[in-house]
Amino acid sequence: MYNNHMKNFILISPNFPETYYQFAASLKNVGFRVLGIGDQPYNELRPELRNSLDEYYKLDNLDDFEQEKAAVGYFEKKYGHIDYLESNNEYWLRKDSILRDLFSIDTGLHSCELDNYQRKSLMKQFFKNAGVKVAPYILVSDIESLEKFAEENGYPLFVKPDIGVGAEESFKISNIDELHDFFSRKSEKVQYICERFISGDIVTFDGIADQNSEVVFMASLECPPSISDILISAKEFCYYSNPFIDPKFEEIGRNTVKSFGLKKRCFHIEFFRVNKKIEGFADIGDIVGLEVNIRTPGGYTPDMHNYANSVNMYQIYADTMADLNPRPVCSPKFYCATASRRDGVQYFFTDEDIKRTFAKELVGASRYPDILSGVMGNSFYMAKFNSLKDVALFNDYVCRRNMSAHHKNGTTMFNKEKTNSSDNICDTHIDGA
């Protein structure tokens, strides 16, 4: 006999990324019946996830909506009304919303609302309502209006899909020839948005909002200035979680969450911090709204926020879903950094070098799922530090490519006594290593 008073929480693809098993474990901790839908065989799920799921429905193909609908219907028939359905992954957000429509799930966003949170053009007004500057833009339709926009705003411009994440199908346009080249090659199936190019670093306001759009947990990422350059040039990806959020930026973040009306959700909101003055628009240091993502930050970033703030973001999420007051946080704070590597590249320092040098700082080392490798890289190291100087040293150490390798008898030889850097890194440069 099932407990009909227990609330039902369906997690879509609860095994991706791997550390998201902690959502299931935390929801179980606060009394939810946790039901999983995915395409990985049950016996291949990690034990912590299996132990947290009351039942798991294996699909042949998670992209098959009819299969997914049948799975939700099965759970509803067996356990009663579904109270929550979430994936916390960008890829599934629209299907999540349609399933909520079909099964009358009141929590979470419905399909009629989703465009406001996925179309970059529609996000602009929400940022403006929060008092945040946004880059001038135009939706790409014909070449004449695009040329006029360029004349009014000048070059460079930046073009990207109106709906999409990452930097795929994104272009920096520096002159009219490149403008015409883009227009001649663009996909007819994609609606593009063209914006004035903003020179700045990406800084995020991440966290969890409660039923009243109040932020119950917040964190911030400092990211490379150009994700598109990383994707195009196959560079290493380095970023860090910064727990020391400037009060002015916190106010901007909280106002933005309120403006978008985010309720009982994780969020990942991206901004530019301007590093080059734009006459008549923005000064150095100004914050410009970029886009909002109504899910957790990608990859293993939630774990970075946990290490940086000495908290359990997954448990705070579960507490919020259960209408409990999240546990108060008064813990030591660190900068938690992640630096990646790419397969097929020779690096100056070995895996053993990294693990020895940063033995006391490393909190994780693994591989990214292949689907994330285009931007993120293939493998990564995660570590926490007390200073940004040490973050910079760590990034340089992990990502330094071997430029002095030479071949002898078919074997690559390394000379670690010589390097082009004026700030050599050795095994004693990090405190305690």
CATH of the domain at 155: 3.30.1490.20
Domain hosting 349: range is 334-433
DSSP H/E element including 185: helix 176-185
Whether 182 is covered by a domain: the verdict is: yes
How many Å apart are CA 99 and CA 69, to the nearest integer? 7
Residue at which a domain ends, from 150, 171, 196: 196
**CA atoms within 13 Å, Cβ hemisphere of 125:** 7
Question: In this structure, what token pair is assigned to residue 291?
Answer: 């886009």
Half-sphere exposure of 137 (CA within 13 A, CB side): 24
294 occurs within a structural domain: no
Q: 416 pLDDT exceeds 80?
A: no
pLDDT above 90: percentage of residues in the chain: 76
The residues, ordered by sequence, that sit 6+ positions from 90 with a Cβ below 8 Å of its Cβ are 165, 293, 295, 298
Q: Could you give the C-alpha distances from 44 to 60, 81, 152, 276, 401, in angstroms and in order?
A: 14, 29, 56, 50, 36
pLDDT above 60: residue 426: no
Residue 385 included in any domain: yes
Question: Are 426 and 341 within one domain?
Answer: yes
For residue 277, what is the DSSP state?
Answer: -
Q: What average pLDDT score do residues 390-403 get?
A: 93
Q: Is residue 264 part of a domain?
A: no
pLDDT of residue 432: 29
The candidate with the shortest Cα–Cα distance to 169, out of 179, 160, 178, is 160
- CA–CA separation, 425 and 389 (whole Å): 12
DSSP string across 77-112:
HHH-S--EEE---GGGHHHHHHHHHHTT--SS--GG
Q: Give every CB contact of residue 250 below 8 A, 6+ residues apart in sequence.
A: 205, 218
Q: Is residue 241 part of a domain?
A: no
pLDDT tens profile 205-247: 999 999 999 999 999 999 865 555 655 566 788 999 999 999 9
- Residue 420: the pLDDT is 38
pLDDT band at 90 (very low <50, low <70, confident <90, very high): confident
Across the range 152-162, mean pLDDT stands at: 94
- Average pLDDT (278-286) is 91
CB-based contact 348:236 (threshold 8 Å) = no
Out of 43-52, 77-86, 218-227, 301-310, least confident range: 218-227
Q: Which of helix, strand or coil describes residue 156?
A: coil
Checking if the pLDDT of 259 tops 80, the result is yes
Amino acid identity at 171 = F
**Averaged confidence pLDDT in the chain:** 88
Residue 276's closest CA among 268, 285, 267? 285
Total tally of structural domains belonging to the chain: 3
CA–CA dist 374, 377 (Å, integer):
6
Domain assignment present for residue 92? The answer is: yes
**16 and 102 both lie in a single domain:** yes
